[in-house]
Amino acid sequence: MSGHSKWSTIKHKKGAADAKRGKLFTKLSRAIMVAAKEGGSDPATNASLANAVEKARSYSMPKDNIDRAIAKGSGEGSDGAAFETVVYEGYGPEGVAVIVEALTDNRNRTAADVRHLFSKHGGNLGATGAVAWQFERRGVVLVAADGVDEDELFLAVADAGADDVERDGSVFQISSAPEQLSTVREAVEAAGFPVESAELSMVPKVTVEIGDESTAKRVVCLVEGLEDNDDVQDVYANFDIPENVLEAVTA
């Protein structure tokens, strides 16, 4: 899963600073509204909402925006009622497995858009269950590794429910059961370590190694194209691209 966590770090830095922040905040708000509509407005009793809020916080979404999205989602006649969750599975170049999670008010439109993006970038959309078995749902907190002692970080999160701390290039990746995500993030922050991101992720069990820039660029273009779609919330893939190659193709 190392390639994917490197991509997550790059994506997070781009998202936090990018001119499309308004678009990103719209997607984050939509996820919060739907979670509040389905499970209530209290993150303490609504795990989906708590996770949506955690992700929004990771991208520095203002508290007022978060509160407004929760209120809108839990109110009568909410916009959140118009959206439904859809999941697509497929393959990218070199057989890279890809999972696409979307919130849409028009299933036919979104399916056509996703199918077109797979085809355009050298992949193909698969049937439900085609690649999901290659992933598992995990809570993942990324911590900038510069100046951080791995043993100290592990001690800080072990009692909070973290299962593993792994160095991956410029970050430490802390993994946990999904329901422990908020607790682990709070433990990291309480210990004074810098959180890069904290969100639920579909973590690949096996990875596909991509060593050449040409193929890496095709894979990244597919993932970026999918992530740029208005309906798409998250894209997960099992590529493992060396950090220097990944940075070169995303420069």
CA distance 43 to 24: 21
CA–CA dist 181, 139 (Å, integer): 5
Residue pair 82/105 in contact by the 8 Å Cβ criterion = yes
**7 pLDDT higher than 70:** no
Domains of the chain: which residue ranges?
Answer: 2-82, 84-131+206-250, 134-204
Can you tell me the distance from the alpha carbon of 49 to that of 73, in angstroms, rounded to the nearest whole number? 10
Q: What is the mean pLDDT of residues 74-94?
A: 81
Largest Cα separation within the chain, whole Å, is 52
84-131+206-250 in CATH: which number? 3.30.70.980
pLDDT at 3 over 60: no
Give the pLDDT score at 107: 94
Average pLDDT over residues 174-201: 90
More confident of the two residues 48 and 109:
109
Per-residue pLDDT tens for 10-20? 665 665 555 46
Q: Tokens 């911590």 map to which residue?
A: 143
In which band, very low, low, confident or very high, does the pLDDT at 2 lie, cut at 50, 70 and 90?
very low
Q: Is the pLDDT of residue 130 over 70?
A: yes
CA pair distance 49, 45, nearest whole angstrom: 9
∠183-136-104 over CA atoms, to 5°? 90
Looking at domain 2-82, its CATH class is mainly alpha
Q: How many C-beta neighbours within 10 Å does residue 168 have? A: 18
pTM: 0.86
Binning the chain into helix, strand and coil, the percentages to the nearest 5 are 50, 25, 25
CATH topology match: 84-131+206-250 vs 134-204: yes
3-state secondary structure of 172: strand
Whether the CB-CB separation of 52 and 12 falls below 8 Å is answered with no
The DSSP code sequence of 57-108 is HHTT--HHHHHHHHHHHHSTT-GGGG-EEEEEEEE-GGG-EEEEEEEES-HH
Partners of 101 in the β-ladder:
87, 234
Render pLDDT for 87-110 as a digit per residue (tens, 0 to 9): 999 999 999 999 999 999 999 999
The Cα–Cα gap between 218 and 237 comes to: 13
Contact criterion met (CB below 8 Å) for 196 and 12: yes
DSSP 84: E
CB-based contact 101:72 (threshold 8 Å): no
Fold of 134-204: Alpha-Beta Plaits (3.30.70)
